[in-house]
Amino acid sequence: MAENKRIDPKTGTSTVGHEWDGIEELDTPMPRWWLWTFYATILFSIGYCIAYPAWPLIDRATAGALGWTSHGQLESELSAERARRADLVRALAGMPIEELPAHPDLLAAAEQGGRSAFKVHCAACHGAGAAGSRGYPNLNDDDWLWGGSLTAIEQTLRHGIRQPGDDATRQSLMPSFGRDGILKSEQIDDVVSFVRVVSRQERPSAASRRGAALFATNCAACHGPGGEGKRDLGAPRLSDGIWLYGGDRTSLTDTVTNAHAGMMPAWADKLDPVTIKMLAAYVHSLGGGEAAQPRLAPAPVRR
Amino acid sequence: MTAHTNVPSPPRLFEARRKIFPKAVSGPFRRFKWAVMGITLLIYYVTPWLRWDRGPYAPHQAVLVDLEHRRFYMFAIEIWPHEFYYVAGLLVMAAIGLFLVTSAVGRAWCGYACPQTVWTDLFQQVERLIEGDRNAQIRLARAPWSAGKIAKRVAKHVSWIAIGIATGGAWIFYFADAPTLARALFNGNAAPIAYATVAILTATTYILGGLMREQVCQFMCPWPRIQAAMMDERSLTVTYKFWRGEPRSHGTKRAQARVPVEPVRPVPSLARLADDPSLLAGPGDCIDCGACVAVCPTGIDIREGPQIGCITCGLCIDACDDMMVKIARPTKLIGYTTELDARAEQAGRPAQPPLRRLLRPRMIAYLAIWSLVGLTMLFALGARTRLDLSVLQNRNPLWVRLSDGDIRNTYQVKIRNMEARPREVEVSLAGIQGLLWDEHGSRATAGHSLRLRVEPDKVAKVQLFVAALADGPPRTDISFSVRALDREGGGDTDHSFFERPETPQ
Quick check: B465 contacting A, CB < 8 Å? yes
Query: Are residues A164 and A211 both part of a single domain?
Result: no
Does residue B390 or residue A60 have the better pLDDT?
B390
Quick check: B393 contacting A, CB < 8 Å? no
Task: Over range B198-202, report the average pLDDT.
Answer: 95
Using the predicted structure, report yes or no on whether residue B2 has a pLDDT greater than 50: no
Domain extent at residue A38: 2-51
* C-alpha–C-alpha distance, residues A291 and A276, integer Å: 18
In a domain? residue A25: yes
Whole-complex ipTM = 0.79
Does residue B245 or residue A21 have the better pLDDT?
A21
Q: Please, which pLDDT band fits residue B32 given cuts at 50, 70 and 90?
A: very high
Using the predicted structure, report yes or no on whether residue B256 has a pLDDT greater than 70: no
Residues in CB range of A113: below 8 A, 6 or more apart: A274, A275, A278, A282
Query: Are residues A85 and A160 both part of a single domain?
Result: yes
* C-alpha–C-alpha distance, residues B285 and B292, integer Å: 14
Task: Over range B21-45, report the average pLDDT.
Answer: 94
Total domains, chain A: 3
pLDDT score for B469: 92
Query: Are residues A12 and A149 both part of a single domain?
Result: no
pLDDT score for B3: 45
pLDDT score for B279: 52
Convert the pLDDT of each residue in A41-60 to its tens digit: 999 999 999 999 999 999 88
Query: Are residues A230 and A203 both part of a single domain?
Result: yes
Q: Please, which pLDDT band fits residue B23 given cuts at 50, 70 and 90?
A: very high
Q: Please, which pLDDT band fits residue A2 given cuts at 50, 70 and 90?
A: low
Convert the pLDDT of each residue in B86-133 to its tens digit: 999 999 999 999 989 888 888 889 999 999 999 999 999 999 999 999
Query: Are residues A128 and A101 both part of a single domain?
Result: yes
- pTM as predicted: 0.72
* C-alpha–C-alpha distance, residues B261 and B264, integer Å: 8
Convert the pLDDT of each residue in B75-85 to its tens digit: 888 899 988 88
The shortest CB-CB distance from B402 to any of A7, A142, A201 is to A142
pLDDT score for B29: 94
Distance from CA of B391 to the nearest CA of A (A): 17
B contacts of A240 (beta carbons < 8 Å): 403-405
Task: Over range A174-191, report the average pLDDT.
Answer: 93
B contacts of A127 (beta carbons < 8 Å): 396-397
Chain B, nearest residue to A242 by Cα: B403
Interface contact flag, A287 B408, Cβ < 8 Å: yes
Q: What is the CA radius of gyration of chain B?
A: 34
Query: Are residues A155 and A88 both part of a single domain?
Result: yes
pLDDT score for B265: 47
pLDDT score for B389: 93
* C-alpha–C-alpha distance, residues A29 and A35, integer Å: 10
Q: How far is CA B316 from CA A133, A198, B233, B250, in A?
A: 85, 102, 21, 19
Task: Over range B199-207, report the average pLDDT.
Answer: 94
Quick check: B443 contacting A, CB < 8 Å? yes
Of A113-122, A150-159, A278-287, B263-272, the poorest mean pLDDT is in: B263-272
Query: Are residues A37 and A157 both part of a single domain?
Result: no
pLDDT score for B430: 93
Which string of DSSP letters, residue by residue, matches B171-233?
HHGGGS-HHHHHHHHHHT-S-HHHHHHHHHHHHHHIIIIIIITHHIIIII-SHHHHHHHH--T
The CATH number fitting domain B387-499, selected from 1.50.10.150, 3.20.20.150, 2.120.10.30, 2.60.40.10? 2.60.40.10
Q: A interface mutation test: which of B9, B400, B499 has the most A CBs within 10 A?
A: B400
Query: Are residues A162 and A87 both part of a single domain?
Result: yes
Query: Are residues A104 and A151 both part of a single domain?
Result: yes
Last residue of a domain, one of A29, A51, A73: A51
- The percentage of chain A sitting over the pLDDT mark of 90, rounded to a whole number, equals 75
H or E element: which one contains B94? helix B85-105
CATH number of the domain residue A203 falls in: 1.10.760.10
Query: Are residues A273 and A151 both part of a single domain?
Result: yes
Q: Where are the domains of chain B?
A: 28-230, 237-352, 387-499
Q: B interface mutation test: which of A105, A112, A242, A283 has the most B CBs within 10 A?
A: A242
In a domain? residue A75: no
